[in-house]
Structure 1
Amino acid sequence: MDLKQVTVIGSGVLGSQIAFQIAYSGFKVTVYDINDEALVKAQHNMRTLTDSYERDMEVTDLELKEALSNLIYTSNLETASKEADLIIEAIPEVKELKIDLYKQLAILAPEKTIFATNTSTFLPSDFAKDTGRPEKFLALHFANQIWLNNTAEIMGTEQTDPDIFETIVTFAKNIGMIPLPLHKEQRGYILNSLLVPLLKSAEDLLVNEVANPETIDKTWMIATKAPRGPFGILDIVGLNTAYNIALSRESEDSKKIANYLKENYLDKGHLGIQSGKGFYTYPNPTYLDKDFLK
């Protein structure tokens, strides 16, 4: 199947990155979000991304202008769906929101349309029946800072058509990603199966007052030679995403983490890099200081 028209549902941090990378790769992309205010913010995110691509990818102004010209924006779900060959869902990690969206898309999208979820924590089989087309539904998961961390984890269900799976593998290559096929469903895929336990351990250390974020990050960075620690990573992921992930786990210690994030960060508008402040202040977080590890 030749994919030409792509719709990205959700224009947050990663949704914007996904849409821009696909547009940069030459596809026509419709960006959907729930209202005009969210779409204005999305357009700002896209312009900010051009700076990142120019700095990190050495692309030309013409290439960036072409990428921006491939993007259109709408808050009308029917408009967003009607011509789509592929719809990528990148809305918050709230199960009920995703189920409601897929039930609407099942009615609005053409029969040809493939649905892909970028969910970080749920399984595609959690939503397959709600899509109305389980054979054309799978997970397509991207890492944050998609232009640098160009992984595409691809995970179907037992009902996913193998040809659809291979179509998405090819699509991932065509947008500059390295396809990483999973042979069975795994909550968290490969990346988050490794990463989420690290981040939760760091959050546990913080909320239980064992150490502050800088000390925890410093420990990890010195011991592993990693370029940033778990709280630097959480700022990239976005603290709203970290909050939703903590809520989804439903254990008492995870509820404690969620409450801590809400009271100390989200309620103050400190969402991580996207807001300019999270555990660190940007664009110059202290973990980049030359003396941080001393």
Structure 2
Amino acid sequence: MNYRNVTVAGSGVLGSQIAYQTAFKGFHVSVYDINDESLEKAKERIMALKPRYQADLGASEADVNAAYDRMTFSSDLSRATAEADLVIEAIPEVVQMKKDFYRELGAAAPEKTIFATNSSTLLPSQFAEETGRPEKFLALHFANEIWRNNTAEIMKHPGTDMDVFHEVIEFAKAIGMVALPLHKEQPGYILNSLLVPLLEAAQMLLIREVADPETIDKTWMVATGAPLGPFAILDVVGINTAYNIGHAKAQVTGHDEYKKVAELLKSEYIDKNKLGRATGEGFYTYPNPSFADPDFLKS
């Protein structure tokens, strides 16, 4: 595994985390996004990660500053990928957007470059043809708060070269992840195959007016000992991601309840800039959400 230069395409919440974690582990990282405004927001997100790494990992100030110094930012895809050994795509969960991006990426990136999608719910085989290099394409999926929740699910599609599959497993280990190989395509991988039904069930309980988010979370936390309930998890994942998934399912299935979920997330959260932890408010208000109160789990 000779990867030294990594491009992360998409600088949202998780894209920014992937980029910084990779740089923290000694790789040179180029962050790509569609415009300079998005990149400025990414820089703010990444700067905010420095104290988290110091508090959670015991990193020194020199460590976190050196990681940032190994990063560059560009809204020019050819420039961002010029030296890339690996491109990790972390753009929104919209099929046509990803297809268009991979066509552009395939034309811009060097022939040597491996492509990996961080898609949470979509399969690499959906985009393999658009990459122009299906044998060098696979999925590499991370959990939010990557420096603490350090899983990396590596999922090949039927056309992925096995050498590439094993190289990306080694790369995941090199950036401090617990590498979890998947040998067959599975929508949602392992993590989201378990997590998404929980989050969907919570949202259905909400739109059916069975209970409010705090009560639903409290039930899950008390009964299972989990540190977070589903709505607190949705705030970490980001309301935009939850909306994109719900909206896509509404279109595919025609299911009225998925449509109601998407409408609720759009009108009551996204339109009001309540995007979760990233903006300081989602289902809860941060930095002091009610579920963190010692009395939250008491009767």
Could you tell me which runs of 5 or more consecutive residues in structure 2 were left unpaired when the two chains were aligned: none
Matching residue of 2:287: 283
Query: Residue 48 of structure 1: SS of its match in structure 2?
Result: helix
Structure 1 residues 102-121: aligned runs within 5 Å: 102-121=102-121
Question: For each residue in 1:60-84, what CA deviation from the matched residue of structure 2 results, as whole angstroms up to 9, or x when unmatched?
Answer: 0111111000110001111112211
Structure 1 residues 118-129: aligned runs within 5 Å: 118-129=118-129
Q: CA deviation at 1:199?
A: 0.2
Matching residue of 1:262: 266
Q: CA deviation at 1:19?
A: 0.1
Question: For each residue in 1:183-221, what CA deviation from the matched residue of structure 2 results, as whole angstroms up to 9, or x when unmatched?
Answer: 100000000000000000000000111100000000000
Matching residue of 1:101: 101
Distance 1:51 1:6 in 2: 23
Q: Work out the percentage of aligned pairs sharing the same amino acid.
A: 60
Q: CA deviation at 1:252?
A: 2.2
Query: Residue 84 of structure 2: SS of its match in structure 1?
Result: coil
Structure 1 residues 71-82: aligned runs within 5 Å: 71-82=71-82
Could you tell me which runs of 5 or more consecutive residues in structure 1 were left unpaired when the two chains were aligned: none
Distance 2:269 2:108 in 1: 37
Query: Residue 140 of structure 2: SS of its match in structure 1?
Result: strand
**Residue 219, structure 1, aligned to residue 181, structure 2:** no
Q: CA deviation at 1:51?
A: 1.1
Distance 1:80 1:252 in 2: 42
Distance 2:242 2:90 in 1: 15
Matching residue of 1:13: 13
**1:51 alignment partner AA:** P
Structure 1 residues 77-92: aligned runs within 5 Å: 77-92=77-92
**1:106 alignment partner AA:** G
Query: Residue 93 of structure 1: SS of its match in structure 2?
Result: coil
**Residue 158, structure 1, aligned to residue 162, structure 2:** no
Distance 2:76 2:234 in 1: 32
Distance 2:107 2:218 in 1: 50
Segments ≥4 residues shifted beyond 3 Å: none
Distance 2:257 2:137 in 1: 33
Distance 1:57 1:162 in 2: 33
Distance 1:41 1:75 in 2: 13
Matching residue of 1:249: 249
Matching residue of 2:4: 4
Matching residue of 1:27: 27
**2:295 alignment partner AA:** D
Query: Residue 221 of structure 1: SS of its match in structure 2?
Result: helix
Distance 2:203 2:67 in 1: 38
Of 249-258 and 139-148, more deviation after overlay is shown by 249-258
Query: Residue 3 of structure 2: SS of its match in structure 1?
Result: coil
**Residue 147, structure 1, aligned to residue 147, structure 2:** yes
* TM-score, normalised via structure 1 length: 0.99
Query: Residue 217 of structure 1: SS of its match in structure 2?
Result: helix
Query: Residue 7 of structure 2: SS of its match in structure 1?
Result: strand
Q: CA deviation at 1:254?
A: 1.1
**1:192 alignment partner AA:** N
Query: Residue 220 of structure 1: SS of its match in structure 2?
Result: helix
**1:4 alignment partner AA:** R
2:276 to 263, 269, 272: 272
**1:282 alignment partner AA:** Y
Distance 2:267 2:39 in 1: 27
Matching residue of 2:39: 39
* TM-score, normalised via structure 2 length: 0.97
Distance 1:198 1:249 in 2: 16
Q: CA deviation at 1:238?
A: 0.2
Distance 2:257 2:8 in 1: 34
